[in-house]
Chains A and B, each alone.
Chain A
Amino acid sequence: MRFPFEQRALRQAVLAFGLALPLGLVPGEAPARGDTQPVPFRVVEDAIPEPLTNQPGDAERGRAVALDRSRGNCITCHEMPVQADFQGNLGPPLDGLAQRYTVGELRLRVVDSKRINPESNMPSFYRIEGLYNVRRDWVGRTMLTAQEVEDLLAYLMTLR
């Protein structure tokens, strides 16, 4: 097979302009975060009624956690009532959450939704036990810190 030069050049152009948006679920070089010693919590029915920390959650910071690809990254799987291109729909939309759930119910869903449904595809954001083949830089760490969970919940409770 022989291609004339112009066609080669055309293909080289495709090569140069074909840059797609790098939108993996998580960036490769994310610095490891999370808690290495998860704080204990108590599950009551399908909720975690008490906050994980003493410091009240901050909705503004929580919104940032939800959008940050290396932290919550909720928007990759959920539509959210924010201005952002490319919202995912692997999970249900998050608008109106605060009307459907109490903060304690949402806490359990963020911390470990597998306790509600073992076949859930919603990641457990505050769990380190019972996982398999975790990437080296995340072994033994929760996806979010306890304070990030509380900040996130403060934000989710603004979604009415």
Chain B
Amino acid sequence: MKIGMVLAGLAAASLTAVVAFAQGERPPNRPIPDPQSGRHFATPDTLAIQDDDFLNPAFLWVEEGEQAWNRVEGTAGQSCASCHNDATESMRGVRARMPAYHPRLQRVVTLEQQVNICRTERMGAPPLPIDSRPLNAITTYIALQSRGMPVNVDISGPARRFFDEGERFYNTRRGQLDMRCATCHEENYGRYLRADLLSQGMSNGFPTYRLKEQRVISLQFRLMGCVQDVRGEPPAMGSEAFTNLEFYLAWRAQGLPVESPSVRR
């Protein structure tokens, strides 16, 4: 009786494992197999600003980020450079593969969060608020080191469950307007919402300089705007919900070149 129960338990457990494994291996369905960057939907004058590093206002943030990279902060007497040396080498490819699964924290972290993990755990410095100017400066500087490299996030293994969460958020109708992300960015890209030409909502250009805000914005600030536009209540920037969504968006943009810092209306 007892042995029977144990056996049944074992069988159930291994069955669950097999099912979980099979699910993990199932390649996710990609609604847009050949993604187009937001630059295809931007106006020529916006692109002219983006494509000239001397005109692109985001390079003010890049400059600030470069300075911050070498600045000692916190109780440990260290700067980013103390551990990572020359960012033009050590940070190459980082933006392209983030967000990424963090084995010790057992969750997915964004580039912003990784910077704050380094600050709090290694530098003894306070975390920078998400989407604040100093944090956007550092992430823009780091992202620039991957410019032109294809987005390539790893959703396999333990990361998969966070990816699935992000995918679910993406496809859930929300807000008083009862729309999902795909309503605008998959079913209706190329159409106009008033003066806005809807793009595929790809994230490869972030952080981006937004003309409307007159500043560099982080991806999650843009996501708050999209949720608010459908009269939804957005989760906080830096929350698990938005982090998983950002992870899913990165995978949607898989293969597109990193274009940060882009310029958008």
Contact = CB atoms under 8 A, between A and B. Distances in A.
A43 B232 CA distance: 28
Q: Is the interface of A mostly helix, strand, loop or mixed?
A: loop
- Pick from B175, B177, B233 the residue with the most CB of A within 10 Å: B177
B231 A8 contact: no
B174 A133 contact: yes
Interface in A115-134: 121, 123-124, 131-134
B86 interface: no
Interface string A83-94: 001111110000
Nearest to A11: B57
Given A86-B195, A89-B191, A123-B176, A15 B231 contact: no
Interface stretch (A16-24, A53-61, A101-109): A16-24
Contacts of A136: 233
A18 B211 contact: yes
B231 A138 contact: yes
Given A133-B232, A135-B231, A23 B195 contact: yes
B176 A134 contact: yes
A11 B175 contact: no
B59 A135 contact: no
A16 B225 CA distance: 22
A133 B175 contact: yes
Interface residue range, chain A: 35 or more
A30 to B, nearest CB: 9
Contacts of A133: 172, 174-175, 227, 232-233
A11 B60 contact: yes
A82 interface: no
Q: Is the interface of B mostly helix, strand, loop or mixed?
A: loop
B192 A11 contact: no
A138 B176 contact: yes
A133 B174 CA distance: 5
Nearest to B177: A123
A143 interface: yes
A25 B183 CA distance: 14
A144 B183 CA distance: 22
B153 interface: no
Contact of B54 (A11, A19, A123): A11
B178 A88 contact: no
B121 interface: no
B230 interface: yes
Contacts of B57: 11-12, 14-15, 18
A149 interface: no
20 contacts: A1-B63, A1-B66, A12-B57, A16-B214, A19-B211, A20-B265, A24-B225, A25-B194, A77-B193, A87-B192, A89-B191, A121-B187, A123-B177, A131-B176, A132-B174, A133-B174, A133-B227, A134-B176, A135-B175, A143-B176
Given A131-B176, A135-B233, 17 more contacts: A1-B66, A3-B59, A7-B54, A10-B55, A11-B56, A14-B55, A20-B211, A21-B195, A21-B265, A23-B195, A24-B225, A25-B177, A88-B191, A89-B192, A123-B179, A132-B173, A133-B175
Sorted nearest first, the 6 A-B pairs with minimum C-beta distance are: A18-B211, A86-B195, A133-B174, A20-B265, A25-B229, A20-B212
